[in-house]
Amino acid sequence: MYCIECGAEGDALIGSLCSKCFLKRHPLVTLSQTVDITVCAHCGSLMKGNKVVEIGGVKGEGVVDDPAARDIIARASVEAAVKIEEDAEADLDISLEELDERNMRANIVANMSFQGQPIAERALTTVVRFKNSVCVKCSRQKGFYFEAVLQLRADGRALEDEDFNSLETVIRSTLDETKGFISKVEHVRGGYDYYLSATSDAKGIALRMAKDMGAKVTESNSLVGRKDGNDMYRLTYAVRLPAYRVGDFFVIDDSLGRVTAVSKGRVTYLEVMSGRRMGLTADDMERKVSLIGGRSHLRLAVVVSMSKDEVQVMDPDDFKTLDLKRPPWLEEGINEVEIVKYEGTMYLAGVPGNK
Ligand SMILES: [Zn+2]
Ligand SMILES: [Zn+2]
């Protein structure tokens, strides 16, 4: 008997395949890279979704603090996470190794058989992660728990949906879910308040917003009580985003600029007329620039005629024709342009349809 795939000789073929080739097609046993176990951050109960549950026969408050119970919970969770294909069976030999307070590595040897016929062993590995949440009972008892507040605002304007989306992205990707969680988000006048269970998360998020979004961060704390003889503080991070956003137009030295990137202390922009990339310090951005705003400030204007160096554009307000310098990107035959007006002056901003 020969394997039809590799030609190996053997008597224990499955279908017409040797066990090696068969396993290439059918892994039989698979396991995700991580297995998550959710624990109430206050009482230590095991949770699934919003419900308190038992895992491997273990339940109750604080069970994860007991090493023996922790072991049982981890094993049962790994066993439940192993996927075994139809017609296959697997004996699992699981060994656990503590990585840190919140994570364990599980090494598994699966002794696999298919339709009753023993096939091979497969080694699998995964990381068991203990994650925090709050059970219903504790959230009722404690109202909502938080150690720090992130107050997200912007200079001279209210935060909008657009800001919210980019802020959320930073928050969700910075938040360390093994240690903390968001207790509450409030849409307040001018911005958003995030109540976070862990000070370290609030700080990490605030610093990231300073670095990647040019935000100014002020930290303050207030005494909220005493616990175990220690003063308890609640931290507030006031995060103030700059008035400008990526995509906003502004006037600098009588020419139109458009913000292309914002990072700590620095703004990159497009000089609209020449199409050149330029840079400014955040300080200069505040001192030297007249901010206009985003695309909503753009208007359409008719091109009356153009020559090599000039273009005649009709002012959409008084229908007077204005001579402007012709930018290199304004091609022959274009009869409509986007303009932006600032303090009575008209600036060419682009061609409709080009972003
Ligand atoms: Zn084969
Ligand atoms: Zn609880």
What DSSP state is assigned to residue 327? Answer: P
Of 40, 311, 84, the C-alpha closest to 181 is 40
User: Which of 39, 43, 42, 41 is CA-nearest to residue 55?
Assistant: 39
C-alpha 19 – ligand 1 centre gap (Å): 7
Phi, psi of 268 (to 5 degrees): -105, 140
8 Å CB contact between 4 and 15: no
Residue with tokens 């549950």: 53
Helices 199-213, 161-174: inter-axial angle, 10-degree rounding: 120
Mean pLDDT score, 196-211: 92
The residue-averaged pLDDT of 24-37 equals 91
Rounded distance between C-alpha atoms, residue 107 and residue 124, angstroms: 6
CA of 94 to the centre of ligand 1 (A): 29
Ligand 1 centre and the CA of 227: distance in Å?
Answer: 67
Least distant ligand from the CA of 42: 2
Quick one: three-class SS letters along 33-56? CEEEEEEECCCCCEEECCEECCEC
Distance 311 CA to ligand 2 centre (A): 70
Q: What is the pLDDT at residue 233? A: 81
3-class SS of residue 206: helix
137 CA → ligand 2 middle, Å: 6
- Predicted confidence at residue 140, as pLDDT, reads 65
Looking only at the bridges linking them, the beta strands covering 117-133 and 34-40 are: parallel
- The type of residue at 15 is G
DSSP β-bridge partners for residue 96: 106
How much is the pLDDT for 15?
A: 78
Residue 214 CA, distance from chain mean position? 18
CA of 114 from ligand 1 middle (Å) equals 16
Whole-prediction pTM: 0.57
Q: Residue 100 C-alpha to ligand 2 middle, in angstroms?
A: 22
CATH classification of 298-355 is 1.20.58, yes or no?
Answer: no
Distance CA 147, CA 161 (A): 26
What spacing in Å lies between the alpha carbon of 3 and ligand 1's midpoint?
5
Q: What is the CATH number of domain 245-290?
A: 2.30.30.30
Q: Which residues share a beta bridge with 247?
A: none
Per-residue confidence at 94, pLDDT binned at 50, 70, 90? very high
Residue 172: predicted pLDDT: 86
Question: Which residues have CB atoms below 5 A from the ion given as ligand 1?
Answer: 3, 5-6, 8, 18, 21
Q: What spacing in Å lies between the alpha carbon of 93 and ligand 1's midpoint? A: 27
Average of per-residue pLDDT values in the chain: 90
DSSP states along 87-105? TEEEEEEEEEEE-SSSEEE
Using the mean position of ligand 2's atoms as its centre, give its distance from the Cα of residue 67 in Å: 19
Ligand nearest to the CA of 64: 2
pLDDT for 257 equals 97
Which of the ligands is closest to the CA of residue 43? 2
Output the CA 314–ligand 2 centroid distance in Å: 68
Domain edges within the chain: 31-133, 144-241, 245-290, 298-355
pLDDT(77) > 80: yes
Tokens 């339940």, residue located: 59
Return the number of other C-beta atoms located less than 10 Å from residue 224's C-beta. Answer: 11
287 conformational bin, left if phi > 0, alpha if psi -120 to 50, beta if neither:
alpha
**Whether residue 222 has pLDDT greater than 90:** no
Q: 41 or 331: whose pLDDT is higher?
A: 331
CB atoms within 10 A of CB 315: 15
Asked whether the beta carbons of 342 and 292 are under 8 A apart, the reply is yes
- 8 Å CB contact between 237 and 151: yes
Q: Measured in angstroms, how far is the CA atom of residue 179 from the centroid of ligand 1?
A: 48
Dump pLDDT digits (tens) for 127-153.
999 998 888 777 766 667 788 999 999
Q: CA–CA separation, 337 vs 289, rounded Å?
A: 24
**What is the share, in percent, of the chain residues with pLDDT greater than 90?**
59
Task: Supply 92's token pair.
Answer: 């699992």
Q: Give tens-digit pLDDT for 282-330.
A: 999 989 999 999 888 999 999 999 999 999 999 999 999 999 999 999 9
Q: Band of the pLDDT at 177, cuts 50, 70, 90?
A: low
List 313's β-bridge partners, or say none.
303, 322
Distance separating alpha carbons of residues 56 and 45, to the nearest angstrom: 14
Q: How far is the CA of 241 from the centre of ligand 1 (A)?
A: 62
Contact 19, 120 (CB under 8 A): yes
Question: Structure tokens of 183?
Answer: 């207790």
The answer to whether residue 272 scores a pLDDT higher than 70 is: yes
